[in-house]
Amino acid sequence: MKRRKFITATGAVVAGSLFTHPASGMFLKSNNIKKKRLALVGTGIRGISFWGRRVLQEYGDIVEFVGLCDINPGRLEFGKEYIGAACPTFTNFEKMMKETKPEVVIVTTVDATHHEFIIKGLEMGADVITEKPMTTDEIKCNNILEAEKRTGHKVIVGFNYRYGPHPTKIKELLTNNRVGKITSVDFHWYLNVFHGASYFRRWHGIRDKSGTLLVHKSTHHFDLLNWWIDSDPVEVFAYGELEHYGKNNSFRSVKCRQCPFKEKCKFFWDITTNDVYMKLYVANEKHDGYIRDACLWRNEIDIYDKMAVQIRYANNVQVSYSLTTYSPYEGWRIAFNGFNGRLDSWQDIPWQKGVPGDIDQSDLHRKEMSQEEEQKATDYEVIMVMDNFGKYEAVKVPKVGGGHGGGDRRLQDQILRDPDMADPFKHAAGSRDGAMSILVGIAARKSIETGKPVKIEDLTGLIPQAKRIT
Ligand SMILES: NC(=O)c1ccc[n+]([C@@H]2O[C@H](COP(=O)([O-])OP(=O)(O)OC[C@H]3O[C@@H](n4cnc5c(N)ncnc54)[C@H](O)[C@@H]3O)[C@@H](O)[C@H]2O)c1
């Protein structure tokens, strides 16, 4: 029987054993079949779609929203309608916590504010699920770790990338020691001119809000590295520059709507074609001035748009990582060098897919994020394994489209539906994993600023271990 069908058939029994997170022991077992009480703060697109509407649609038999919160009252009201929740809304988080007493708080606000709601949520008696990145600097990170210890409540970080079939197969091959002891890794991530540009259109382009893409975006990649290598990062050295977006263009405006350069700007983006974005963002600009289609040539942009990072791990693995934000195509490449061979893989590199240009770059990211469009596997990813003095073997992994390769669904299933599910590759991530991934980005940022290597142990109370603590 398929797991989803099994769950529906045994809903009450499953609900009775809800909420024990394998890694963190986040939720205590309960024989109470009452619905779990969730509150959500941050009714932007991620909050209302993945952690809102999808949660109610898929897990509405075992969870309920008791409160929604956002500083923007218009976005809050549209968000409630979009989610389909029947609960009160609040523009004040503490008031929501006091009046609704949720058991779990979901944090989907702007990155630099996550810590406020994680810490307050823990202190006011809830467990917390937070979107990545857990937070944006080492002081907030330490405060979160300290609050978790002090309150006895738990933090889960939503690392959906881990759960995809492709990253999971790489983890399985490495766990099985397929190419022997790993000594070094090359990891290069290419954001295309559509997806990469999107980060420069809004708050992500401001360092104080996103912590730069080394934290906001690379937290996914550093988490994958930490998980695959199964060790903690020790030292980081990095370079980074802003030389394409922001002040680097010869013309600029305020936003794409009403832009006098629409015709000549290759990055022009027409938000008016997206009905949900118009209702969620444009209709509510009047409340807080949040412009969703802001000009990506704004002078205020102060993050890097190309980044190169070297990382040394406690088990002596060395990593070369880079992030590009204006690539013609979206994709990534990785290679693990081991004593017995080498494991290579890649995703979405056009000519490695066959016909050059056969991927619609403008729609690739929307499809990846889409919760409605998780498609059946009709294609596959390849992991190439070659033995020293030997032959190569192509390991094929069925490719699922939408919902981050099916990773989004598996992440929520494990957290919300089936917390006791077998977890042989330790997909579940708590605050230590959340911390270790952002600390690489924070260290990289510091290294770029100082021109010096930065030690992870100098940032928080966490001591890097040769074998990750799970
Ligand atoms: N895991 C993933 O694949 C993934 C994908 C997209 C977004 N995210 C994460 O989800 C989060 C939200 O992203 P988004 O694209 O929805 O952003 P968004 O800007 O659309 O939404 C953020 C919301 O938070 C609200 N907010 C900001 N400060 C607040 C405060 N102090 N109190 C209450 N509300 C506040 C804003 O008004 C807005 O509605 C981010 O942390 C982002 O990194 C993760």
- From the number of C-beta atoms within 10 Å of its C-beta (0-12, 13-18, 19+), residue 407 rates as buried
The C-alpha atoms of residue 344 and residue 395 are separated, in whole angstroms, by 10
* Average pLDDT for 8-21: 36
The C-alpha atoms of residue 289 and residue 424 are separated, in whole angstroms, by 46
Is the Cβ–Cβ distance between 330 and 353 less than 8 Å?
A: no
Q: Whose CA is nearest to atom 12 of ligand 1?
A: 108
Handedness of CA 230, 233, 234, 237 (dihedral sign): positive
The C-alpha atoms of residue 406 and residue 398 are separated, in whole angstroms, by 11
User: What is the distance in A from the centroid of ligand 1 to the CA of 57?
Assistant: 21
Q: Could you tell me what percent of the chain has a pLDDT over 90?
A: 82
Q: Which pLDDT band, with edges at 50, 70 and 90, does 400 fall under?
A: confident
CB-based contacts of 262, cutoff 8 Å, min separation 6:
256, 268
Is the Cβ–Cβ distance between 255 and 282 less than 8 Å?
A: no
Residue 264, CB-side half-sphere exposure with 13 Å CA sphere: 7
Is the Cβ–Cβ distance between 239 and 453 less than 8 Å?
A: no
pLDDT given for residue 3 in this prediction: 33
Tell me the per-residue pLDDT of 317-329, one tens digit each, with 9 for 90 and over: 999 999 999 999 9
The C-alpha atoms of residue 80 and residue 198 are separated, in whole angstroms, by 25
pLDDT given for residue 361 in this prediction: 80
Q: Which pLDDT band, with edges at 50, 70 and 90, does 357 fall under?
A: low
User: What is the distance in A from the centroid of ligand 1 to the CA of 44?
Assistant: 5
User: What is the distance in A from the centroid of ligand 1 to the CA of 99?
Assistant: 23
Handedness of CA 275, 276, 279, 280 (dihedral sign): negative
**Could you give the 3-state DSSP secondary structure of residue 241?**
strand
pLDDT given for residue 375 in this prediction: 55
* pTM exceeding 0.75: yes
Q: Whose CA is nearest to atom 18 of ligand 1?
A: 44
User: What is the distance in A from the centroid of ligand 1 to the CA of 23?
Assistant: 25
**Could you give the 3-state DSSP secondary structure of residue 18?**
coil
CB atoms within 10 A of CB 438: 31
- What's the mean per-residue pLDDT of the chain? 90
Specify the ligand 1 atom closest to the Cα of 109.
24
**Could you give the 3-state DSSP secondary structure of residue 122?**
helix
Is the Cβ–Cβ distance between 313 and 229 less than 8 Å?
A: yes
pLDDT given for residue 324 in this prediction: 98
The C-alpha atoms of residue 103 and residue 111 are separated, in whole angstroms, by 22
Say if residue 104's pLDDT is above 70: yes
Alpha helices in 253-329 (DSSP H): 275-280, 285-288
What lines the ligand 1 site, CB under 6 Å? 41-47, 69-72, 75, 108-111, 113, 131-132, 158, 160, 216
The length of the chain, given as a count of residues? 470
Q: Whose CA is nearest to atom 3 of ligand 1?
A: 160
Say if residue 150's pLDDT is above 80: yes
Tell me the per-residue pLDDT of 203-256, one tens digit each, with 9 for 90 and over: 999 999 999 999 999 999 999 999 999 999 999 999 999 999 999 999 999 999
pLDDT given for residue 155 in this prediction: 97
Specify the ligand 1 atom closest to the Cα of 46.
16
User: What is the distance in A from the centroid of ligand 1 to the CA of 43?
Assistant: 7
Strands, E, within 28-83: which ranges? 36-41, 63-69
pLDDT given for residue 14 in this prediction: 35
Q: Whose CA is nearest to atom 20 of ligand 1?
A: 44
pLDDT given for residue 24 in this prediction: 40
Given ligand 1 and candidates 54, 78, 110, 191, which is best to mutate, with the most ligand atoms within 8 Å of its CB? 110
Specify the ligand 1 atom closest to the Cα of 202.
19
The C-alpha atoms of residue 401 and residue 35 are separated, in whole angstroms, by 31
- From the number of C-beta atoms within 10 Å of its C-beta (0-12, 13-18, 19+), residue 46 rates as middle
User: What is the distance in A from the centroid of ligand 1 to the CA of 111?
Assistant: 7
Say if residue 456's pLDDT is above 50: yes
Given ligand 1 and candidates 106, 108, 204, which is best to mutate, with the most ligand atoms within 8 Å of its CB? 108
Say if residue 167's pLDDT is above 50: yes
Q: Could you tell me what percent of the chain has a pLDDT over 70?
A: 89
User: What is the distance in A from the centroid of ligand 1 to the CA of 339?
Assistant: 43
Given ligand 1 and candidates 54, 70, 189, which is best to mutate, with the most ligand atoms within 8 Å of its CB? 70
Could you write out the DSSP letters of every residue in 343-405? EEEEE--GGGGSSTT-S-HHHHHHHHH-SS--PPP-EEEEEEEEETTS-EEEEEEEE--STTT
Handedness of CA 68, 73, 76, 81 (dihedral sign): positive
User: What is the distance in A from the centroid of ligand 1 to the CA of 79?
Assistant: 12
Say if residue 7's pLDDT is above 70: no
Bridge partners, residue 149, by sequence? none
Tell me the per-residue pLDDT of 61-86, one tens digit each, with 9 for 90 and over: 999 999 999 999 999 999 999 999 99
Say if residue 4's pLDDT is above 60: no
Given ligand 1 and candidates 69, 71, 219, which is best to mutate, with the most ligand atoms within 8 Å of its CB? 71
User: What is the distance in A from the centroid of ligand 1 to the CA of 130?
Assistant: 10
Say if residue 52's pLDDT is above 80: yes
| DSSP character at residue 52 | I
Nearest to 174 by CA among 390, 333, 370, 395: 395
Specify the ligand 1 atom closest to the Cα of 42.
24
